[in-house]
Amino acid sequence: METYIGELRETSKALCAKGKGVLAADESTTTIGKRLASIDCENTEGARRALRELLFTTNGIERHVSGVIMVDETLRMKNSASTSSFVEILKQKGVLSGIKVDLGTEALPTSASELATNGLDGLGARCKEYYALGARFAKWRAVLKIDRSRGLPSALALRENANALARYATICQANGLVPIVEPEVLMEGTHDLAACRAATTRALEEVFAALRLHGARLDAMILKPNMVTPGSECVTEDASSLDSRVAFETVTCLLDVVPASVPGILFLSGGQSEEDATERLRLIVKVADDLRAPWTLSFSYGRALQSSCLKTWRGKDENIAPAQAALLARAAANSLAALGRP
């Protein structure tokens, strides 16, 4: 780890550049297939390449995006003309390439309704190869469910996922990759804002305890948490003041748990609409500024950056330019939000 510590810090700093965020283009083949199906496009390697090429070659995207998270297939891909890899295209723009290294989830053996994330076996060798291919950061997602009637998230799920995130982080750092640590408390359910705050606090406490225990460098990582929101099926929260309460609960939760040495926090959108993800980020940044939070706050969005772009493109070459304009507009709106501006 010490071999790379200077580089890791510089990469962390670059990823957290003020007013910039990270584009999450790390959908699995199955997930991107669902996105392509929504626009009546077949899930082929060519279609996946075309979509990623559209995203990565958007003129001006580098003004708003500091990094792009990819999957193994995309990291190894060249553009449709076979002249440049996507890593090279992004590097020319000054955008860092990242790689999703987890291998998906499986049921916890003694808590079948909860999930643990796979991918630690052979991770060191994969990280070494990804570094050689040009990746400079990585991502690992843990998934936690809220169900108060069943006592979820359970202590087992919290501990299991925190330890996996910590092991992932140290393996990445030992091989030159900045780890994006993503403990996601899902929006699915009927839970209220207070329940999400409690679960998010417990998750982050476990994660940082595990990171310290395993010897991870907190100054050379990025946190990618959920915002504190009510469940998508909650009917008890007052909608008129919800966005401002989401912002306050999110920032104060983070202040309670996240060390000041962490350089940046890049929020996931978690199934929120493009508009909600942007507006809530703006309010979060304003609250954080008022409370003098020590970290850079920004976004690491997938659907909340790509949705309008995808609908505009519809798999047709003649729609590439307007689709890129839609992506750029969404990225610009989130850049402003990351500065606390409308």
| Averaged pLDDT, groups of 10, the chain, 342 residues long | 92 97 97 96 97 98 98 97 96 98 94 93 98 98 96 97 98 98 97 98 98 98 98 94 98 98 98 97 98 98 97 97 98 98 94
Q: CA 283, 287, 288 angle in degrees (round to 5)?
A: 115
Active-site residue among 53, 114, 160, 182? 182
Q: Judge whether 45 counts as a catalytic residue.
A: no
CATH superfamily ID and name for 5-338: Aldolase class I (3.20.20.70)
Q: What is the pLDDT of residue 111?
A: 86
Q: What is the pLDDT of residue 172?
A: 98
Spatial distance between the Cα atoms of 334 and 336, rounded to a whole number of angstroms = 5
Going through the chain in order, the beta strands assigned E by DSSP cover 21-24, 65-70, 96-100, 105-108, 111-117, 137-144, 178-185, 222-223, 264-267, 296-301
Location of structure tokens 């925190």: 162
Q: What is the pLDDT of residue 263?
A: 98
Q: Quick check: helix, strand or coil at residue 105?
A: strand
pTM more than 0.95: yes
Amino acid identity, residue 163? N
Q: Judge whether 182 counts as a catalytic residue.
A: yes
Q: What is the pLDDT of residue 109?
A: 87
Amino acid identity, residue 40? D
Spatial distance between the Cα atoms of 92 and 331, rounded to a whole number of angstroms = 19
Active-site residue among 27, 224, 249, 279? 224
